[in-house]
């Protein structure tokens, strides 16, 4: 069967988007389809698969599958791209509307250049900081305190981490120079560490000043990506908790693929603003599972 798709990216974090208003896929084939389309040699090449679907509780719904076929609860770059796709295709006609993700409903606002969406701001909701909600285990089991700059052993190395959930789990390591961040060694080791029963997205942050940070990520289920929207939000929350940046101000997060503007505002919500870009449209030949 030929499946129509749109390839889109948010700062180089690319997914194959399938319009679930038009195309019906069975639940059991989604993980394998995500692996197939993501493969750069035998598929299209992407960080995973995103379905845009009708919603019972919001204006549109997003489901995200990582490159390895695992389903995630949330995706910041995906939310901005789904907002663009839904608006550009006319499934929503308001500039402010709601998107349902597995982690909950968020509010998006699109900005146009001509007729097409260019920038999207998403109210990402409140971060979850308690250990049991990340979820992250202690050596002795469970706990419900916040994890801020906590000693964390990786192999022989004593590092420190801060943990934040933006609907999906993130841990942040601070480094002096982002170019020297041990992403290739620490990323794959920590993402499946038993202290994280659901795995974790692993982020490295270099604080440049009170309004700017550098950021790199090893994503759970996808590996190194050019950008991670939920990760950038988690990094700003973590940087406020560690007194590196101020609450309620815009922080520029420099990712490998470009910049996001993030603020953790007084209401407790995290606001994310950045681009959403269509790369190409086509049809993917899918033999099924
Ligand atoms: N790239 C995404 C996050 C995708 C999901 C993540 N790998 C997970 O498993 O939680 C983003 O932009 O937030």
User: 204 and 183 in contact (C-beta within 8 Å)?
Assistant: yes
pLDDT at 263 over 90: yes
User: What's the CA gap between 206 and 279, in Å, rounded?
Assistant: 30
User: Counting atoms of ligand 1 from 1, which one is nearest the CA of 66?
Assistant: 7
CA of 230 to the centre of ligand 1 (A): 7
User: Counting atoms of ligand 1 from 1, which one is nearest the CA of 217?
Assistant: 1
Distance between alpha carbon 120 and the CA centroid of its chain, in Å? Answer: 15
* 75 part of the active site: yes
User: What's the CA gap between 22 and 59, in Å, rounded?
Assistant: 16
Q: Beta strand 96-101 with 60-66: parallel, antiparallel or unpaired?
A: parallel
Is the minimum distance from the CB of 229 to ligand 1 under 6 angstroms?
yes
Q: Provide the angle, in degrees to the nearest 10, between the axes of the packed helices 76-88 and 229-241.
A: 130
Q: What angle do CA 75, 73, 284 make, to 5 degrees?
A: 65
Is the minimum distance from the CB of 220 to ligand 1 under 6 angstroms?
yes
Ordered structural domains, the chain, with CATH: 2-124+275-285 (3.10.310.10), 131-268 (3.10.310.10)
* 233 part of the active site: no
Task: Read off the pLDDT of residues 120-164 as tens digits, 9 standing for 90 and up.
Answer: 999 999 999 999 999 999 866 667 899 999 999 999 999 999 999
Is the minimum distance from the CB of 233 to ligand 1 under 6 angstroms?
no
Task: Read off the pLDDT of residues 35-94 as tens digits, 9 standing for 90 and up.
Answer: 999 999 999 999 999 999 999 999 999 999 999 999 999 999 999 999 999 999 999 999
What's the pTM value of the predicted model, to 2 decimals?
A: 0.97
User: What's the CA gap between 46 and 68, in Å, rounded?
Assistant: 11
């Amino acid at each position: 069967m030929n499946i129509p798709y749109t390839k889109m990216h948010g700062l180089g974090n690319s997914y194959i988007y399938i319009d679930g208003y038009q195309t019906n896929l069975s639940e059991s084939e989604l993980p394998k389809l995500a692996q197939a389309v993501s493969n750069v040699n035998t598929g299209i090449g992407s960080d995973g698969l995103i379905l845009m679907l009708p919603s019972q509780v919001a204006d549109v719904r997003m489901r995200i599958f990582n490159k390895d076929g695992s389903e995630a609860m949330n995706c910041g770059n995906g939310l901005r791209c789904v907002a663009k796709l839904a608006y550009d295709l006319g499934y929503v006609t308001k500039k402010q509307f709601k998107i349902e993700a597995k982690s909950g409903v968020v509010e998006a606002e699109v900005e146009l250049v001509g007729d097409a969406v260019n920038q999207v701001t998403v109210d990402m909701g409140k971060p979850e900081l308690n250990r049991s909600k990340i979820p992250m285990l202690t050596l002795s089991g469970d706990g419900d305190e916040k994890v801020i700059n906590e000693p964390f052993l990786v192999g022989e190395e004593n590092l420190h981490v801060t943990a934040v959930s933006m609907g999906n789990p993130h841990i942040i390591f601070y480094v002096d120079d982002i170019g020297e961040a041990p992403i290739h060694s620490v990323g794959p080791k920590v993402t499946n560490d038993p202290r994280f029963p659901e795995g974790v997205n692993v982020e490295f942050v270099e604080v440049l000043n009170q309004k700017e940070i550098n950021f790199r990520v090893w994503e759970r289920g996808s590996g190194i990506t050019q950008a991670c929207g939920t990760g950038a939000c988690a990094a700003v929350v973590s940087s406020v908790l560690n007194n590196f940046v101020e609450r309620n101000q815009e922080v520029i997060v420099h990712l490998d693929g470009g910049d996001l503007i993030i603020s953790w505002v007084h209401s407790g919500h995290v606001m994310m603003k950045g681009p959403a870009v269509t790369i190409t449209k086509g049809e993917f030949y899918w033999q099924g599972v």
